[in-house]
Amino acid sequence: MSDVTVRLVLAAAVMAVSLVMASSASPSSSSPSAPSHDYGDALRKSLLYFEAQRSGRLPYNQRVRWRAHSGLTDGLEQGVDLVGGYYDAGDHVKFGLPMAFTVTMLSWSIIEYGDQVAAAGELVHALQSIKWGTDYFMKAHTAPNELWTQVGDGDSDHYCWQRPEDMTTSRRAYKVDAEHPGSEVAAETAAAMAAASIVFRNAGDAHYAHLLLHHAQQLFEFADKYRGRYHESVRVVKSFYPSSSGYKDELLWAALWLHRATGSRRYLDYAVDNADDFGGTGWGVSEFSWDIKYSGLQVLASKLLLEEKDLSSEQRLVLEQYRSKAEFYVCSNMNKNPGGAARNAPRTPAGLLFIRAWNNLQYVTNAAFLITVHSDLLSSLGEPLRCLPDDDADTSDTGGEAAAEVVVPAAEVLAFAKFQADYILGTNPAETSYLVGYGEKYPRQVHHRAASTASVKQEKGFIGCAQGFDDWYSAGGDNPHDLVGAVVGGPDGKDRFRDERGMYIHTEACTYNTAPMVGVLSRFMEIQRQQGEQDL
């Protein structure tokens, strides 16, 4: 199916999506009385957030003016230039695994919805957000089998409440190499650079795309040849970003991105040949995150059924198995899997996905993105979502009868993604937008050192570790600066939210929360525009 045909199919689905959104009374779609949202405004603000998270020497066109240069000696002690990159959240450690995942998701958002981002006038800012990460990754990849994966120490950092410009905590750097492997972080960085290479190639920067792809291929070979758990080599990361799923999901994920970036069959063969042994066609899970990539790679693999024209029968069979697990994920999030709670993701009373208490909205934004992408695939194929019963389920309570398959129209799938996005933007019991700066009511006490402290440009005096806690962290009232575009951790399992700096499991924001929202907001901005044209 050509790109033009795909666009026509997706456009034809807009009216169906609109009807589903307007008619459904379930928590899987917006209610008729729910306010409409300005997705374009939310998109513009989401991209602004990444500028607030920059480490290093800030450029002349920096829009977040209350930030200044920081981390200018990163890597100096180890004799390597590690200036740049992103702080992951409200602290000042540069953690390689979540940073790479952030860049992968930003890149995927632009690959899928770059035309919409360009239509909003935000493509330049999106490219800059990606490049700020990939420039750093190229610095950090100092040899074919060597990747610097962390700068700073999480323990000492968390004892200080300082602006990044005042940091006095350790800036020691840590790496993985052949003797101390870290397959998760090396493979995720390979995925990020491969995905970014597609973005820059499409943007006309062939030279930069080539550099990224060179690094991506080397990093994948390193991750695969020297297999080992990231947190076992870099032990200081274990309390913050340990890998619970292991590295096999990242290896499959990186292979699929390299296939998409290069067209090389060897990467597709890798994902097909290792699909069973690595769990790609065996693991059906209900979450997608910086740690657990199975659902993401399964959705990515499913797209090959549409995009690849020359698949062998074996490859198609394996890709269909990937798709089956992708649809388990979508069905689970929509509460459509036959079999009850054990096979479906939990939700709050108001319908928000609730995977974990700590920073739950990271799972919601990732789910909204994957479900949006998969709904587009279903529309392109002209097929519904099929939620299958568990073949091994106990049927004693149903008189020996197996549960029936549940069939869900593609428009309803997209409507569910919209419901989750709208909840984040303020259509929720608290009537609070969890994307900072969007709407009339949003978190004002985000758990974030820089945003909660006076700008170094206004108050040039040094702020020490304890002083920051005494004068700023413990101070009542709103932060001096809105962390515009940040998606915070969000409400608890009963839809309750307390806007307090000390409630960090709810008020801290992370780069990987916002990254998938770039794609989600772009998609719904397009639908909103098309609906407006139809109303004329």
Question: How many Cβ atoms from other residues are within 10 Å of residue 19's Cβ?
Answer: 12
Structure tokens at 266: 């060897």
Distances (CA, A) of 456 to 13, 162, 453, 461: 50, 11, 9, 8
The partner residues of 148 in beta bridges, in order of sequence, read 175
Taking a C-beta distance cutoff of 8 angstroms, is the pair 373, 112 a contact? yes
Residue with tokens 């290069």: 262
Residue 460 is classified by DSSP as -
352 vs 362: CA distance, rounded Å? 12
Report CA-CA distances (Å) from 49 to 41, 45, 53, 67, 455: 13, 7, 7, 12, 16
**At how many degrees (to 10) do helices 294-307 and 361-381 cross?**
20
CA 487 to mean position of chain CA atoms: 11
Structure tokens at 401: 């009868």
CA separation for the pair 187, 216 (Å, rounded): 8
DSSP symbols for 359-411: TTHHHHHHHHHHHHHHHHHHHHHT--EEEPPPTT---GGGTTPPPPPEEE-HH
For the beta carbon of residue 479, count every other beta carbon within 10 angstroms: 21
CA distance 5 to 1: 6
Distance CA 299, CA 374 (A): 7
Phi, psi (degrees; rounded to nearest 5) at 173: -105, 150
Distances in Å between the Cα of 114 and the Cα atoms of 36, 213, 307, 520, 533 are 23, 20, 18, 11, 20
Q: H helices of 382-510, where?
A: 410-425, 465-468, 504-507
Q: Select which of 37, 92, 141, 447 is catalytic.
A: 447
C-alpha closest to that of 96 among 511, 448, 486, 509 = 511
Q: Is 214 a catalytic residue?
A: no
Q: What is the DSSP letter of 211?
A: H
User: Are 403 and 339 within 8 A, CB to CB?
Assistant: yes
Run of H or E including 221: helix 206-225
Q: Which residues are catalytic?
A: 447
